[in-house]
Structure 1
Amino acid sequence: MTPCETVEPMLLTVAQVASMLQIARSKAYEMVAQGEIPSVRLGRSVRVPRAALAAWVTSSTKTKRVV
Structure 2
Amino acid sequence: MADQPGRTRYLTVLEVADVMRVSKMTVYRLLHAGELPAVRVGRSFRVPQDALDHYLATNVTVAEQPEDRGRLSS
Instruction: Answer whether TM exceeds 0.5 for this pair.
Output: yes
Cα-Cα RMSD: 2.2
Question: What TM-score, normalized to structure 2?
Answer: 0.66
Task: Tell me which amino acid in the other structure corresponds to 1:44.
Answer: R
Q: Which runs of 4+ in 1 moved over 4 A?
A: none
Q: Which runs of 5+ in 2 are unaligned?
A: 63-74
Which structure 2 residues correspond to residues 1-67 of structure 1 after superposition, within 5 A? Answer: 6-7=2-3, 10-62=9-61
Deviations 1:25-67 (A, max 9, x none): 111111111111111112322100001110111111246xxxx
**Distance in 2 separating the partners of 1:55 and 1:27:** 17
Q: Which has the larger radius of gyration?
A: 2
TM-score norm. by structure 1 comes to 0.72
Identity %: 33
Q: Give 5+ residue unaligned stretches, structure 1.
A: 1-5
In the alignment, the residues of structure 2 paired with residue 62 and residue 33 of structure 1 have an alpha-carbon distance, to the nearest angstrom, of 21
Which range is displaced more, 39-48 or 19-28? 39-48
Amino acid at match of 1:45: S
